[in-house]
Structure 1
Amino acid sequence: MKDEAPDPLSHLSNTLGHRPQPPIVSENISVFGSRAAHNAELSFGECINRFELLVLCEDVTELAIDEHHEGARTFATLQGFSEPTELTEIFNFQAERWAKRRVADLLSDVLVSELVVRTRVLVKTKHCVAFVPYAASSPLHVMALPKAPRRNLVAVTNEEQQDLGGFHQRLAELISTAIESPAASIEVLWSMAPISRCRSISRMRVEYTSADAGVNFEDSPEELALILKAWLSLRADINGFWSRFST
């Protein structure tokens, strides 16, 4: 049965392409998103070290990581912006409205709601949850959130960093192998909360999207969750990493 309740993130479903904003910092991250565990671990350390320097820069307000996966190749860019992006401003405005109406945190409520309903949750670890959002922005759309209110990678603990690194690596692998088209590309956007502004955004979020995944997705986000869960079960049989996850 399709969930008829309005999704608090539905306002974001058509905003991912809003107003391109040139970054004032743009650095290639050669191994970020790599499926090799050693490379992924090195990359997270590389990013966090660089983040720690950038958050001290007065002219950098918002940080993001933009990944592009195409076949076995991965390209990633660390970006810094002088002002919050339009998507972030929209998100913060909605979070402020949510807080005033419900005296609650928007992303915390989304996370709790998904964990309670469970039909769209793909995987969860001790520190992370991945689910198919109710209002998708593309035929294939998965969102991951940290359970703790971590606004960017600098705020995560060492244990959370290790958990998030492996979680992301395997989730990207799952999505890549589950899509029907071998030529399909996957975009991954790490949206960090602005350093000193937009305080109503409590968490960073990671969004995995593909417009050419070959998935006929006219039914519901629950259908996509079932497809990905089926692949998750298959991968669990041949890769012990997934056996640590619960759904």
Structure 2
Amino acid sequence: MPTTATAFRAPPLMLLAAEPLRAVFDFCASRFCATATPVGDGHPVVVFPGLGGAPFTTSHLRKYLADSGFAAHCWGRGVNTGPDGELETWLDGLESDLRRHHDHAGRKVSLVGWSLGGIYARELAKRAPDAVRQVITLGTPFAAMRGSTHAEGVFRLLNGGKTQLTPRLEARLRQCPPVPTTAVYSRSDGVVCWRSCIEKRTRQSESIEVGASHLGLVTHPEVLRVLVDRLAQPEGQWKPMRRGRA
């Protein structure tokens, strides 16, 4: 059994170096192998990009969700450079955005977060479970943010070398939201440690393995099918996924 120190180690550099090319293949595969079927009920879905991700990085995913029958929305905050200022103040603003979507639609909102964006989605669901239908994370290392990802250096660069990550905050991030939660991960992820992206199995939480690169988690056909399957469940009738359905 791996120790705590080794279980959450960042992926090998070989996998990291292969990420850009693999992401291109994942995107090309989605253009030829992923055809949207209108199975959604029109409820709002907010998509949060990963660290350094601009709105265009999730545009393919949002279009696929829209074509599948959901009201897909960008998170509306431009490039994701990490929390702007204190985390709680930052989350206050994101919660206000969430509640606007909720009030406008008159329905609960599903949250999809890629990498760091998944941290926002999980924390918002803990703050406002009355407004959140479910949370789906894509390659989000909530179980171990420190030492488990190659993105730490990028985060510090974008934030002037600062970090708000404390042991207390790390423990908080590991707590599962009180709403149906799906954690999507890939053992061949070249950016974050796949073990740190797994949620424990409970009555309303699950983890689903896919074969995508980290950068391709928002375009890979398998991921798109998993997302639609999860989002298409009737509200209040969430069940763990049977992989045959994907």
- TM interval, shorter chain, is under 0.3
Higher-strand-fraction structure: 1
The normalised TM-score by structure 1 is 0.26
The normalised TM-score by structure 2 is 0.26
